[in-house]
Structure 1
Amino acid sequence: MPDTKKEKTSISVKTNLADKQQAAEIFDSLGLNLSTAINIFIKKSIAEGGLPFDVRDPFYSEANQAELNRRFKKVSEDKDVHEHQLLDDGDE
């Protein structure tokens, strides 16, 4: 029975050329090639049981949501809300 821990396989990943080049430069500056960096990512993901970093949209951060709520409250209370004319309104 083959030892699957030592047997190598290939994977194919599609990305745009600019991202590949930028990542390759970063990894090269760390003394890594793209393949080694991807293998580190895979090993770290296995060790963590998921992605080894948070994947979040900053729009939903606590600070941003608090600011949005503050602004919604201001609008709903009609405080410091000023009407304005859009630039396109001059066409009428």
Structure 2
Amino acid sequence: MLDTEKKKVSISVKTSPADKQQAAEIFDGLGLNLSTAINIFIKKSIAEGGLPFDVRDPFYNEANQAELNRRFEKIANNQNLHSHELLDYGD
């Protein structure tokens, strides 16, 4: 192991107290502390060459997009619109 691999540096991360507490409880249940969990995240990110998970907005799932496209077609064809749980028309 190289000397540079043995040396540790500190990093600072800002988060809300509630998020820190929730994360600490989750990691504690896995037998990890926050520092170890963050180091696992960093090592996995390096191994993956990026984030080790998908970062997506759940709104843009296939079902929602299909519903929006259907509604856009109705609007384009001047058809009656009805409320849907995905969209709030203020009815």
Cα drift, residue 66 of structure 1: 1.6
The one-letter code of the counterpart of 1:18 is A
- Greater shift in the superposed pair: 62-71 or 13-22: 62-71
* Alpha-carbon shift at residue 39 of structure 1 (Å): 0.4
How high is the TM-score relative to the length of structure 2? 0.80
Deviations 1:28-53 (A, max 9, x none): 00000000000000000000000000
Asked whether 1:15 is paired with 2:15, we answer yes
- What secondary structure does 1:52 align onto? coil
Deviation of 1:59 after TM superposition, in Å, equals: 2.6
Matches within 5 A, 1:34-49: 34-49=34-49
Runs of 4+ in 1 over 3 A off after TM superposition: none
Q: Distance in 1 between matches of 2:81 and 2:50?
A: 45
C-alpha displacement of 1:79: 2.8
Count of residue correspondences: 83
Percent of pairs with identical residues? 78
Instruction: Tell me the residue number matched to 1:74.
Output: 74
Match of 2:85 in 1: none
* Alpha-carbon distance between aligned partners in 2 of 1:54 and 1:39, rounded to the nearest angstrom: 19
Q: Which amino acid aligns with 1:78?
A: N
Specify the alignment match of 1:63 in structure 2: 63
Higher relative contact order (CA 8 A, sep 6+): 2
